[in-house]
Structure 1
Amino acid sequence: MSRARSIEYINTFEEIASVFDVINKIGQGTFGTVFSVRPRFDPNSSILALKVMVPTTGLRRIENELRILRVLDGQNGVIKLISAKRIRDHVFILTPYIRCKSFSRYYLTYDEKEIKRYLTSLLKALEHVHRHRIIHRDVKPSNFLLDQYTQQYTLVDFGLAHSQEAGDVDRNWTPTPMPLANPKRQFSFATSNSCKHKLTRSLVDDKYHLVRRFWDGTDSGDRLVLRSSSLSDLPNSPTTSDSSKPACVCGNRLTVCRPCLNYRKGPTARRGGTLGYRPPEVIYNTANQTTAVDIWAVGVIFCSFLTGHYPFIPGDSDFEAIHAFTHLLSFERMQKGAQAVGKNLYLSPKPSPLAGQKDYIYLKDRLERIRREMKEPPPLPPTFSSDAPPPGPTVALPRNYKFEVMTFDLCSRLLEPNPRLRISASKALAHPYLAGSK
């Protein structure tokens, strides 16, 4: 284990160790490690989560995540940003701590009412995110956490999220600055190129007021202020355009010059996300991607509930995922979806044709067939006390359970291969299968 990802290393930061007791390491990803911490000044206070960004993570990516969390403001099931601080080239992000349990431990125990509640909660969170024209880009069960005590869901990890139109940092996205009680208490995201993005501490509500005061030394008038900079100050900006191609200096050399190596003939397509949850337009390297990227992932999660299989697509490559969904949705639908984004799909052997079947009936037949092959989990161990109540069922819905037809209609709309026709979060919430669910 890298020393930089250990509790011992975090405690070497006096600004952290003097304010928090670091309890456990609770998660680790590509760009950071998450620890559970408790404020020293109040042993009875709630445990918080402290995300420590990998020092090599680009400051642009970190600033982008903080901007998005600040705009979403912890509403409608989105994780709340309490505060953030930069110390010795490390960025620390403080959020509430969620005592969650793994999706694999509870998804089979859900009846239809609980499945509807899960989907409704996820779609409401995405509706809030998409209303701000933000793509989460990494929707999956491990990023939609169930608090095992409050039974509330929270959408987390916005490390890959971005504005749909402008990419990482929107040229026009300038939150209104609020008055600062202590302007000197600021820290700067700065690179060797003097890329400065002043960030002052946030006080959004009273719940985390003391935490911010002890960690940040700020007064109650402080707000999170992200001051925009001109894109020319930002290195490697994807929104910066240059009308002229850099001059070629290859000459008669046997090597390709740097301008030619760096010159791109077409727009760069984003491919971020998790294998098995990426939609076709991402796999096809489509340049113009929308919030529909997240909706496809909801459909994949829905398939896990409907079939009792998780992960639903266990393959090792995007090609396997395309192959699987072509057999699930039909070659005709997948081909139309590919052509809608300027691509062509070739597959051999092809699955059986739609032959006049409705899309959701074709999907229903295949998902039901997969469900019949669902493996029952091992039984729970016997209790030591004869007076203890027997454990509840580990599987709420048997493998021969029949979902109503409207269920598969919603799933088919979530998994629409054409991103322009894919249902939105708002319309999915109004679908007859979910309408009225809480």
Structure 2
Amino acid sequence: MATVAPACRRRNESFRIHEDAPSTEDTEMNENLQDEEDREDDDGEEDDENTAEEQYPESEYSESSDEDVVLDSNISHDMERLQDSFPGFRSKYRLIKRIGEGTFSTVYKAEDLQYDRYDNSWDMEKENEKWTPPPLKSLSSQDGHQRRRKPKYVAIKKIYVTSSPTRILNELELLHDLRDCANVCPLITAFRATDQVVAVLPYFRHADFREYFRKMTVLDMSIYLRSLFTALASVHRVGILHRDIKPTNFLYDPETRRGVLVDFGLAEREGSDCKPCMCHDDHAARKARLRAAAERTTMVTANGAIGYPKQDTRPSRRANRAGTRGFRAPEVLFKCTEQTTKIDIWSVGVILLTILSRRFPFFNSADDVEAMIEIATIFGREKMKQAGRLHGCVFETSIPTIGSHGFKLDKIILWSTCRSDAGEKLSDDEEQAIKFLERCLELDPAKRISAEQALDHEFLRMGMDSSMEGTGDAAEDDEMDMLRV
């Protein structure tokens, strides 16, 4: 009787990158990407290297179809160069097509040719294969070849050589640490040849957010966000900020109602490279610092009017502004130097606001100043002033369309869905969704709901009890039916 060799694991307990023989075919500098990382802010300060400045740029994954497509010559050439850059690559993976292209990387769909040789605990589809089909016999053709098993796919992420080595290592280490977290894309393995790094990730079948979000019911929204908050709870539990939550970074399949959080290129550990911000002070200390800041920044003219000095001698404040415009939390816009995991919660709130309003993108600002104006239009001038004071900032605007108290979220939803004029009201489920939305879009991060708290909220538990009823009996009936066949 033949013996079967045990499957081996592709990763060790401690993270390391597999280094292949040197290759220089794929190490040319990408000038456009270099310009992107060296870009400066409008005020003359250099942007943080990790700042994703494009308006809703492509994520790691942008294709939702499993079908192969005809490749143009440039993509085919890039795929050939990538396969030639790593010795033995063609015996391990077969590149199929490009499925995503972002600021720092390109992702390809590939077939895992050596899937059966390894421990594939990362494979979510494998967990669903409860009933394993019998071995396939050879075909009745003359050649006698055996029928090929169903191919297994992975995502090959080619990280551009212009990326910082520190940033690359940070992303791979975080993915390694999150490998056992629910609804989070795990790292299968990684390879390096000279300055070219490639990460191998699972391939997830998903749909384009723009194709299904307008059709979602409130129950669909609850299930969608429950999956996303499950991932965030796992990430935040170990003190990691994703920093770039948006629809294209959460791969969701409406048919299976399962989603996976991807793209940790901008992620960082909470508390790393930060300075104390007054938003974490107690009330008395914050009040004293605000008073001192106001005395330094305002002056009274001869006629008694209050103004601001022409030459501001205060040192400029630098803070991590990484993320995508339209999804950045207020504390990021106010350059808070002590940001927490709550910035991800705000971004999820923007996604929910997008779905409820049926408008994507909901926020469409060109820079941080316009982003503040958009938020102030909703929440009002007074609340934005309070939000600025939390971080030692002064928010002032003379735009007449920005009221003192803003608008209620339910009014915004009715207006955006063209139900205001008809005098329609929100359903009870929509009211519940808006109450949850208010907890996510809280200007004060200390009052904003956490991922753990969100999972216990009644909105995210919508339909859970009814969906669990009778599940066991139905499953047993299905199993008996299969046994009778």
Report the TM range for the smaller structure's normalisation. 0.5 to 0.7
Residue of structure 1 in register with 2:364 after alignment? 314
Rounded to whole Å, the distance in 1 between the matches of 2:461 and 2:404 is 32
SS in structure 1 at match of 2:386 = helix
Aligned counterpart, 1:323: 373
Q: Deviations over 1:248-307 (max 9, x none)?
A: xxxxxxxxxxxxxxxx95764101000100011111211111111101101100111111
Cα distance change, pair 93–419 in 1 and its aligned pair in 2 (3 A): same
1:364 aligns with 2:410: yes
Equivalent residues of 2:94, 2:112 under 8 A apart: yes
Q: For residues 256 and 430 of structure 2, what CA distance do their matches in structure 1 show?
A: 30
CA contact under 8 A between 1:50 and 1:92: conserved in structure 2? yes
- Larger Rg: 1 or 2? 2
Deviation, structure 1 residue 400: 7.2
1:149 CA displacement: 6.0
| 8 A Cα contact 2:222 2:462, kept in partner | no
- Number of the residue aligned with 1:25: 98
Q: Pick closer, same or farther for the CA change 1:144–1:157 going to 2, 3 Å.
A: same
Aligned with residue 7 of structure 1, among 79, 82, 98: 79
Q: Paired residue for 1:93?
A: 199
Contact persistence 1:79–1:156 (CA under 8 A): yes
Q: Report the AA paired with residue 408 of structure 2.
A: Y
> 2-side partners of 1:77 and 1:45: how far apart?
23
Q: Is 1:281 aligned to residue 331 of structure 2? A: yes
CA spacing shift, 1:82–1:2, aligned 2, 3 Å:
same
* Aligned-pair CA distance for 1:2: 7.4
**Residue 39 in structure 1 maps to residue 65 in structure 2:** no
- Look up the match of 2:400: 349
Flag the 1:407–1:152 CA change in 2: closer, same or farther, 3 A. closer
Match of 2:160 in 1: 54
2:441 & 2:208 partners in 1: Cα distance?
24
Residue 218 (structure 2) aligns with: 112
Q: Deviation of residue 159 (structure 1)?
A: 0.4
Shift of 1:334: 1.8
Output the TM-score relative to the length of structure 2: 0.60
Q: 1:417 to 1:76 in 2, by over 3 A?
A: same
Of all paired residues, the percent bearing the same amino acid is: 33
Q: Quote the Cα distance in structure 2 between the aligned partners of 1:161 and 1:409.
A: 29
What is the one-letter code of the residue matched to 1:7?
Answer: M
Read off the aligned partner of 1:352 and give its amino acid letter.
G
CA contact under 8 A between 2:109 and 2:203: conserved in structure 1? yes
Report which of the two has the higher share of helix: 2
Specify every segment of 5 or more residues in structure 1 that has no aligned partner in the other structure, as ranges.
169-263, 375-398
**Whole-Å Cα distance in 2 between the matches of residues 304 and 350 of structure 1?**
22
C-alpha displacement of 1:436: 4.7
CA RMSD in angstroms comes to: 2.6
Q: Distance in 1 between matches of 2:254 and 2:453?
A: 29
Cα distance in 1 for partners of 2:445, 2:196 equals 38
Amino acid at match of 2:341: T
Counterpart of 2:187?
Answer: 81
| Secondary structure at 2:89 match in 1 | helix
Q: Give the number of aligned pairs.
A: 314
Normalised by the length of structure 1, the TM-score is 0.67
State the alpha-carbon separation in 1 of the partners of residues 271 and 418 from structure 2.
43
The answer to whether the 8 Å contact 1:99/1:149 transfers is no
> What are the residue-to-residue correspondences of 1:427-438 with 2, within 5 Å?
427-438=453-464
Which string of whole-angstrom CA distances, capped at 9 and with x for unpartnered residues, describes residues 354-383 of structure 1? 3xxxx9x82221232122189xxxxxxxxx
Q: Deviations over 1:383-417 (max 9, x none)?
A: xxxxxxxxxxxxxxxx9764543322211121111
Secondary structure of 2:347 counterpart: helix
Shift in Å, 1:317:
2.2
**Partner SS state of residue 23, structure 1:** strand
Structure 2 counterpart of 1:270, from 317, 320, 325: 320
Q: Any residues of structure 2 matched to 1:118-133 within 5 Å, and which?
A: 118-133=224-239
C-alpha distance in 1 between matches for 2:265 and 2:345: 18
Residue in 1 aligned with 2:443? 417
Is contact 1:32-1:51 (8 Å) kept?
yes
Judge conservation of contact 1:79–1:96 (CA < 8 Å) in 2. Answer: yes
d(CA) in 2 for partners of 1:319, 1:121: 32
Cα separation, 2, equivalents of 1:56 and 1:410: 41
Structure 1 stretches of 4+ with a deviation exceeding 6 A read 1-5
> In 2, Cα distance between the equivalents of 1:274 and 1:301?
13
1:299 to 349, 355, 360: 349
Aligned equivalents of 2:411, 2:256: Cα separation in 1:
37
The separation in 2 between residues aligned to 1:405 and 1:44, in whole angstroms, is 45
Amino acid at match of 1:295: I
Measured in 2, the distance between the counterparts of 1:71 and 1:85 equals 17
For residues 404 and 315 of structure 2, the distance between their equivalents in structure 1, rounded to whole angstroms, comes to 37
2:240 counterpart of 1:134: yes
